[in-house]
Amino acid sequence: MKYIVILGDGMADEPLVQLGGRTPLEYAKTPNMDRMAQNGACGMLRTIPDGFEAGSDIANMSILGYAPEKYYTGRGPLEAVSMGIGLESGDVAYRCNLVTVEDGVMVDFSAGHISSSEGSTLFSSLSQEIPEVMLRAGVSYRNLLVVHQGTGSTSTPPHDIVGKKIAEYLPEGGDAALLLRCMGKSTEVFAGHPVNAARLRAGKRPATGIWPWSGGPRPSFPQFEEKYGKKGGMISAVDLLNGIARCAGMEIISVPGATGYLDTDYAAKGRYALDAIRHLDFLYLHIEAPDEAGHLGDVEEKVRAIERVDSVVGMILENFDGVLAVLPDHPTPISVKTHTRDPVPFVVLGKGTDSTEHFSEREAGEGSLGTKSAVDFLSFLFS
């Protein structure tokens, strides 16, 4: 038996007045997910354990069966592993966003979804000024900062403070003094940088500085194949997910044209998934777009992103006869533009049927599979 999980990041939401009291998942035309609900069964999943932030890292680790209480050391180290950065003992890796701050307010946690090449140019200019840390450019605004012999520090994810004054959310404790110096240097180096001058001329948001957060040492996971007795693979455009997969010893399948943003190549993801599952037992197909639309607070874009996820579900349904599950990792409600910790709906085809007819938050709440803890999800699927 083979297994595919399609993960629509941040796909769950709340009923919205502008959608006539329906959620984006209810409003979107999702014939394929609905077909799964009709021929399969639904339930709800608790993906965020108590005491953890509602992050994609926490949620996706949980869904893959790695209890965050045991294995989570931060988002930074997961992304470092994904980028092939060998973290030594004593290294603390921070996720390091390029951000837009204006008048002391966090305007954009992504610096206008700056391109990878612009980000990498800014990072090489900044590297020369702060040789005491290691900077590594990643995809778009998602970069990395490594402190050698670091002690960690507390800071807030920048996507949680959009529109707020940053002064109350700066890094505290441990490496904070060093991080603040690096942030100050970034503001100096980026002001008037040719990359930003060109962005401003093009009417785009400049990257005014860096924002390090969620640092930690390299985690150590039991390997997926030993844990479940199955060869697993991951398709995702997001470093974080690939980092989790690499820590778990899963195969990482990269898909050309997968951007991790709204314009990602959905058909290519479906094709690569179908190809990969021929030699794997399990595939995790992660699609970031609904989450990005949620962070933007853009209802229409979120509905479109969900419909595109549904088209991938359709491609898989037509060409795959194993067990298929579809779910979000957490809600990213339009109303709050950030992640929440509410349980998420899931639908499974190939593990019995119930009376659900549509895949939605509401109907899944009444599904026969009940509410499960995410860390048990794959064991349930494989049972």
- Least CB distance from residue 297 to Zn ion, whole Å? 16
Q: Looking only at residues 263 through 322 of this chain, which bind Zn ion when binding is defined by CB under 5 A?
A: 291
Question: Which one among 329, 345, 356, 369 touches Zn ion, defined by CB under 5 A?
Answer: 329
- Least CB distance from residue 240 to Zn ion, whole Å? 9
Q: What is the DSSP letter of 28?
A: S
**Side chain identity, residue 85:** I
- Choose the stretch contacting Zn ion; rule: CB under 5 A; options: 15-23, 165-173, 257-265, 325-333: 325-333
Q: What angle do CA 141, 56, 362 make, to 5 degrees?
A: 130
Q: Do β-strands 3-8 and 41-46 pair in parallel, antiparallel, or remain unpaired? A: unpaired
Structure token digits, residue 116: 């990878």
Q: How far apart are CA 195 and CA 190, in angstroms?
A: 8
Report the residue number, 79 or 291, with the smaller CB distance to Zn ion: 291
Q: What are 171-175's contacts with CB under 8 Å, separation 24+?
A: 171/212, 171/213, 174/150, 175/92, 175/147, 175/150, 175/151, 175/215
Q: What angle do CA 195, 147, 206 make, to 5 degrees?
A: 20
Number of residues counted as binding Zn ion (CB under 5 A): 4
**Helix 116-129, helix 194-201: angle, nearest 10:** 150
Note whether 236 binds Zn ion by CB under 5 A: no
Note whether 56 binds Zn ion by CB under 5 A: yes
Structure token digits, residue 356: 């659900």
Note whether 32 binds Zn ion by CB under 5 A: no
Note whether 108 binds Zn ion by CB under 5 A: no
- Least CB distance from residue 124 to Zn ion, whole Å? 30
Report the residue number, 147 or 285, with the smaller CB distance to Zn ion: 285
Note whether 9 binds Zn ion by CB under 5 A: yes
Report the residue number, 58 or 178, with the smaller CB distance to Zn ion: 58
Report the residue number, 185 or 337, with the smaller CB distance to Zn ion: 337
Q: Which residues bind Zn ion (CB under 5 A)?
A: 9, 56, 291, 329
